[in-house]
Amino acid sequence: MKRILIGTIVGYILYALLMAYYLWFGADTSLPADLVGTKADPRTFLTAEEMLLVDEYSKIRNLMYFLSLPFDWVLYFLLILLGGARAIQTWSEKVTRYAWLQGGIYVFWLTLFVTLASFPLSYLRFSLSKSYDITVQPFTGWMRDQLVSFWEGIFIMWLVVAVLYYLIRRFEKRWWMAAWALFIPFVFFLMYIQPVVIDPLYNDFTELQDKDLEEKILGLAAESDIAADRVYEVNMSEKTNSINAYVTGVGGNSRIVLWDTLLTRLKEEEILFIMAHEMGHFVMNHVVIGISGYIVFSFFAFYLVHWCAASVIRKWGEALKIKRLGQLASLPLLLLLLSLVLFVASPITNAVSRHQEHTADVYAIELTGDAEAAIGAFQEITRSSLSEVHPPALVKFLRYTHPPMVDRISYLEKYLKEEE
């Protein structure tokens, strides 16, 4: 056990050094020769100081992503290896004999431990964003959001764990099928309540104050056969200088939302392009396709977690003090395996998402007919969020759910030339 513990720590340190070397020295972020001097070239729309900030910020932010990626895996592994998972279960069983209360106690202490252990990295990400003027939220506001997220996560996780472990104890070999069947309506329920229950916990939402702009946005929605009667704005300027817009919710709770920073940093025609892009997702049923794909994927994910967990307990359960999957002590193992499955699948899901984002760009161009506004919007997004125009291949592969700006702007410039 001592050798495993030391090996885990040393391995994590070596991994961190390898990622740092890759990002600072090994990765190729140079612009393709045929794009030099085009509108996709950051030197044509960023100052020398802004380019330096983008380079610094991107490297540090990417390094922090790669550091945090396996961090929870290490935490869960050490909890299991050192007996912490079993100790929390023993304590919860001493407090109460009711299984659903034991689950709540276990979830609380597990979440608290993981939150405290990962807090330094979370705070570093917040400090980094604030030092580069991306985040403008004060520390007290940031801490409030962390606390809200903490208790929200506990409530949802408690519900999930109570149902999950009931199924595991009731259907030892087929629990994963029952869990998957219940997972489907649960996802739709969360999507339905998110715009009206979860999102307002973090920000204030109001109807768009600029009625002329709202009328133009609703005009685009009408052209796209989207039944919308209002547009919402959210006061993100209290927290960030970045800009964004999105369509959220399902059914009667669907909403078109834009950040108020969008209103101050973009021109009207640029805003209309961004909103047309979001409408493209709706028209092309990207949300439905995404949910359907996620449901199919989750079927195999539940099975893989079940099979791997059963194999681990069968081979090393005695050493880990986990005799059966129905013990609460197995929760860190399930979370570890689920996180690994999601990570392995992330390159595929990211590639699908990038394709959908590109098709939404195409739709928005065809709807608005204004490629210049689209290019201006993407250039301003790059400037406001210090985004990499041409990220390293590994970063794009593992992180990017949207096409890099070099791809988006170069496509728009090509479209513009063809139109001319």
Q: How many residues does the chain have?
A: 420
The answer to whether residue 372 is catalytic is no
Looking at 214, 233, 270, 278, which residue is catalytic? 278
DSSP state letter for 46 = S
Cα separation of 126 and 140, whole Å?
A: 12
Query: Which stretch of DSSP H or E encloses residue 252?
Result: none
For 411, how many CA atoms within 13 A lie in the half-sphere containing its CB? 17
Using the CB atoms, write b or e for 121-145: b if 16+ within 10 Å: eeeebbebbbebebbebeeeebeee
Relative orientation angle of helices 268-283 and 211-223, to the nearest 10 degrees = 40
Relative orientation angle of helices 371-385 and 405-419, to the nearest 10 degrees = 160
The H-assigned helical ranges of 284-330 are 286-320
Cα separation of 411 and 40, whole Å?
A: 9
E-strand stretches of 141-266: 205-207, 232-234, 245-248, 255-259
Strand ranges of the sheet holding 245-248, from the earlier edge strand across to the other edge: 205-207, 232-234, 255-259, 245-248
Q: DSSP 3-state assignment of 232?
A: strand
Q: Locate 341 and state its tokens.
A: 């499955």
Written as one string, the DSSP assignment of 103-161 is HHHHHHHHHHHHHHHHHHHHHHHHHHHHHTTSB---HHHHHHHHHHHHHHHHHHHHHHH
Using CB atoms within 10 A of its CB, is residue 229 exposed (0-12), middle (13-18) or buried (19+)? exposed
Residues 6+ away with beta carbon under 8 Å from 365: 273, 371, 374, 412, 415
Residue from 184, 195, 356 nearest 286 by CA: 356
> Hey, how many other C-beta atoms are within 10 angstroms of the C-beta on 65?
16
Using the CB atoms, write b or e for 189-209: b if 16+ within 10 Å: eebbebbeeebeeeeeeeebe
Residues belonging to the active site: 278
